[in-house]
Structure 1
Amino acid sequence: MSKHFEDARYYLGRAAEHATAGIKEELEPIESRVRKLVGEEEEPEPSRVDSIKEDLSELEERAEGEAREAVVTAREKLAAYRGSETETEPETTEE
């Protein structure tokens, strides 16, 4: 990919992040007024421990998937090796 496209993609991502933050900041007072009228309390932010647990579970799932893929690949390579090994061995005849 061209360096120009990479730069453009980066800056578009940054612009989206800044726009999201700006919208959240502008809507905070409206959200709190609506919550007061409706009677709902704000959802508590997840604690650091909860976010770490969530990250660890995601990593665990990803590691399991990668391990499964590695096992499948290893089995395929082993089967291919065994298949090529039997084809190249000369057959011996017993006399």
Structure 2
Amino acid sequence: MSKHFEDARYYLGRAAEHAKAGVKEELEPIEGRVKDLVGIDDETEPEPSRLDRLQADLKKLEERAEGEAREAVASARERVAEYRGHDAAESE
């Protein structure tokens, strides 16, 4: 790519960054007024959305299922070890 195009691309990127920063700076006071009118406080956390609640429920279920699976595997291992011990005692 020509050096001129590389330079133009660089400066366009910088111009976009500056434009974004300028728009953000200009809209900050308006954003504050809108939040005051609507009653949104920056310090309060929003209520969890339905998706967030479902994801939390699924995480709890996943943890519970994982715990139950671990218990089942441990129980099966105990039964196998007991069976093998009982089987070895009979063959003697």
Alpha-carbon distance in structure 1 between the residues aligned to 2:67 and 2:42: 40
* Runs of 4+ residues deviating >3 angstroms: 39-42
Give CA deviations for 1:9-36 in whole Å, capped at 9, x if unaligned.
xxxxxxxxxxxxxxxxxxxxxxxxxxx8
Structure 2: gaps spanning 5 or more residues: 1-38
| Aligned match of 2:81 | 79
| Aligned match of 1:45 | 47
| Aligned match of 1:62 | 64
What is the RMSD computed on CA atoms of the aligned residues? Answer: 1.9
Alpha-carbon distance in structure 1 between the residues aligned to 2:44 and 2:73: 46
Taking only the aligned residue pairs, the percentage that are identical comes to 58
Task: State the secondary structure of the residue aligned to 1:43.
Answer: coil
Alpha-carbon distance in structure 2 between the residues aligned to 1:40 and 1:49: 22
Q: Which structure has the greater CA radius of gyration? A: 2
Alpha-carbon distance in structure 1 between the residues aligned to 2:46 and 2:86: 60
Alpha-carbon distance in structure 1 between the residues aligned to 2:42 and 2:53: 24
Alpha-carbon distance in structure 2 between the residues aligned to 1:47 and 1:71: 36
Alpha-carbon distance in structure 1 between the residues aligned to 2:42 and 2:88: 71
Task: Give the TM-score taking structure 1 as reference length.
Answer: 0.49
Alpha-carbon shift at residue 86 of structure 1 (Å):
1.3
Give CA deviations for 1:31-63 in whole Å, capped at 9, x if unaligned.
xxxxx8xx6554211000100000000110111
Task: Give the TM-score taking structure 2 as reference length.
Answer: 0.51
Q: Which amino acid aligns with 2:70?
A: R
